[in-house]
Structure 1
């Protein structure tokens, strides 16, 4: 896949040029033959009745026009160059390259989108890494979302066994104008900077808060905390999904990095059945099955989520509360004055 791409360096400041370039390039390839598999032309939507306010979107073409998922029976499924991977996409699909220090990332169009501006984030495209999340990928995702500077852009990740469908390290950039459940869910504090969804919710998740959005050192500290939990799940065979989004916390603008642990392996993602991945866990259901779109209830969705998560969260909560796992660190003197009591 050879093509000269526009290159942007990510800094600690919002960069509207990146948003504009993504929008422009996606508009260009939509009009090219044999690139995008279908267009999102005002798909039907409805909000699922219930307390979570789940947004449902019907995209029938995703059931017939998307690539066939790859079987991934383990979090440690090795990369296989003979299978589909993102080095094999057409050159036109590569929208741009982004750099964060020594981290190089390709931004590729999702040719089977479920939101407008749906892109794939491929760290180290030609490094041919399996779908195992890295610290660099987490750090990049945080900075990329800060650069986009929009509540409407979100980043998600599905591990192998967590409804991931391509065994080549990638994350999703999606765009939703609707404020979904994961952005507004009430939180309970576990320890400094680490929260979880309130107990009454049947969707279980850890939530890491990035509160000082202009503080590079704080950004690195949060990324390392997230990665420590992710690495533990990888090492112990626990499938997982992540979701990065800007949100409000006590009237403060923050970034939520949400980690959904799972108990069951989803080795092969279905293209027509109800899949539980980062979107569904976060309150957005892109569906290809019209029956699900018209008849699914909130209780049925929650039951499907509970079936995947089981008690994985409760088992990890013990680890997260353990001071040996997350040792208490004294805050830097330069930031003490800016920290609120509930931090």
Structure 2
């Protein structure tokens, strides 16, 4: 049975726990695509052929910077020039504004499918999609793509939620990565004041055919649910998938909810990677949360914006004349400028430990 059923101009990709890919091939092994990968890529390719995007990706140049971080720099000038103008952001809790651009205004051609969870053994859903997609999670193309397969995952489209993480949204992000068998399929989130461009709850997901240092970056355990990133230019927290992804989503939401209440801008990145303790050759899902210095207004015109991809080591470069000369040392300096100071981070860390140590008490 196909994983989706056609409904009018749209499709529903349904999935359950049996569809999660627990182990993906290593970077040295041949690529094996899951049903989810095949469906997303086929529909994304068709959208590219149909001219849905603002540009193709044949202009992108890739360069791995010398240094221990093996940073992946990609020159993508067209994204800087042709993308939709980012919205002016003045507050981490800025309310949703229906009068400006949001994802209910996109062209129907941009919708790849509705992402719908089903229970094991349940038939794929049939019937008409509700007019407003009130509770539907949709996957749409990013018309100004970062990389191949770049899509936006929009939780509960019709609820018009602001760009503030919910527990359900975090769980959806984890599930989306688990549906892929590609080691380079990642998903990320930028909060408001952390380079979010649209104040409508969404994640970026895409394929990158290069490993990232963040997949194996050293961490140290600071409490039973959380790790601190070490030997990295930006201070942050790490989490890993255990037996229960719902538990991981709840734990991470406790932290992001605290960030929102305290007006702490933040970025979230989820990727495949090595276990954070014990047998570090074991594969798991790694999730990173960076509390960071806020950015107000629209995005800048610097060499690159220090948003979630950049914090994870993937650098979409906007300025061509510096692409061939930028060094890891320069990037480290830029990334460190986004980080909270040691004093401020330690204050946040103590609160995070307090929050998570209370779990189950």
Q: Distance in 2 between matches of 1:43 and 1:3?
A: 35
Q: Distance in 2 between matches of 1:8 and 1:164?
A: 27
Q: Distance in 1 between matches of 2:264 and 2:38?
A: 38
**Alignment partner of 1:79 out of 82, 96, 100:** 96
Q: Distance in 1 between matches of 2:95 and 2:357?
A: 30
Q: Which residue in 1 is equivalent to 2:3?
A: none
Q: Distance in 2 between matches of 1:237 and 1:117?
A: 32
Q: Distance in 1 between matches of 2:86 and 2:8?
A: 26
**Alignment partner of 1:211 out of 237, 242, 260:** 242
User: What's the secondary structure of 1:148's corresponding residue?
Assistant: coil
Q: Distance in 2 between matches of 1:325 and 1:246?
A: 23
**Alignment partner of 2:191 out of 159, 172, 175:** 159
Normalised to the residue count of structure 2, the TM-score between the two structures is 0.84
Normalised to the residue count of structure 1, the TM-score between the two structures is 0.88
* Contact 2:238–2:286 under 8 Å retained in 1: yes
* Contact 1:12–1:147 under 8 Å retained in 2: no
The runs of 5 or more residues in structure 2 that have no matched partner are: 1-6, 21-33, 119-133
Q: Which residue in 1 is equivalent to 2:157?
A: 125
Matched, 1:144 2:191: no
* Contact 2:234–2:311 under 8 Å retained in 1: yes
* Contact 1:3–1:92 under 8 Å retained in 2: no
Q: Which residue in 1 is equivalent to 2:346?
A: 314
Deviations 1:5-57 (A, max 9, x none): 21122311336222111111111111224x21001116211112222110000
Deviations 1:211-233 (A, max 9, x none): 33xxxxx2111111100000000
CA shift, 1:321, in A, is 2.4
CA shift, 1:248, in A, is 1.7
**Alignment partner of 1:264 out of 284, 294, 297:** 294
CA shift, 1:64, in A, is 1.1
**Alignment partner of 1:291 out of 314, 318, 321:** 321
CA shift, 1:202, in A, is 2.0
**Alignment partner of 2:58 out of 41, 47, 51:** 41
- Off by >6 Å, runs of 4+ in structure 1: none
**Alignment partner of 2:13 out of 4, 8, 14:** 8
**Alignment partner of 1:61 out of 78, 88, 94:** 78
Q: Distance in 1 between matches of 2:37 and 2:296?
A: 33
* Contact 1:100–1:140 under 8 Å retained in 2: no
Aligned residues: 321
* Contact 1:246–1:254 under 8 Å retained in 2: yes
CA shift, 1:185, in A, is 0.6
- Seen in structure 2, the aligned counterparts of structure 1 residues 168 and 226 have a Cα distance that, compared at 3 Å, is same
* Contact 1:74–1:267 under 8 Å retained in 2: no
**Alignment partner of 1:230 out of 240, 250, 256:** 256
User: What's the secondary structure of 2:264's corresponding residue?
Assistant: coil
More moved, 277-286 vs 313-322: 313-322
Deviations 1:53-78 (A, max 9, x none): 10000011012110000011111111
CA shift, 1:180, in A, is 0.6
CA shift, 1:310, in A, is 2.6
Q: Which residue in 1 is equivalent to 2:307?
A: 277
